[in-house]
Amino acid sequence: MFPKLDPLLHSELRLAVMSILAEVRSADFSFLKKQTDATAGNLSVQIDKLAEAGYISVQKGFKGKMPCTTCTITPTGLEAFRNYVNALKDYLPL
C-alpha cells in the first residue's frame, strides 16, 4: 500500500516554494516569484495556504521604502516536506 501524500504539498507551486525554502531556509517574495515563474497573485495565495498550515512564516516589512515580504520555512514545514519526499519515493520504481 502506498503512503498518503500531504495534499497541501501535492500542488506544483506549493511544492516548488517548499523545495526552494527547504534549501535556502528563507527567501523574499521576489526571489520566489522569479524562481517559480508564478504570477504574484497565485504565489500570494499559495504562500497564505502554507502559512495557515504553519509550514512557513511570513514577515512583511520594508527594504528602504519598498515593501518586502520574506518567507521562512518552519520546523513543522521542513518535517512535512521531508515526510512528503520520503512518501513520494515509495511511488517511484527505483
Would 67 be classed as within a structural domain? yes
Q: What is the pLDDT of residues 13-53, one digit of tens each?
A: 999 999 999 999 999 999 999 999 999 999 999 999 999 99
In a domain, 5, yes or no: no
pLDDT at 1: 86
Share of the chain above pLDDT 90, in %: 93
- Positive or negative, the CA dihedral 73, 57, 63, 31 is positive
User: What residues make up the domain containing 28?
Assistant: 12-89
Q: CATH number, domain at 63?
A: 1.10.10.10
Residue 94's pLDDT is 74
**Is position 2 within any domain?**
no
Which pLDDT score is estimated for 93? 84
The pTM is what? Answer: 0.93
Examine residue 7 and state whether it is found in any structural domain, yes or no.
Answer: no
Please report the beta strands in 1-94, taking only residues with DSSP state E, as ranges in sequence order: 26-28, 56-63, 66-73
Is residue 3 one of the residues assigned to a domain? Answer: no
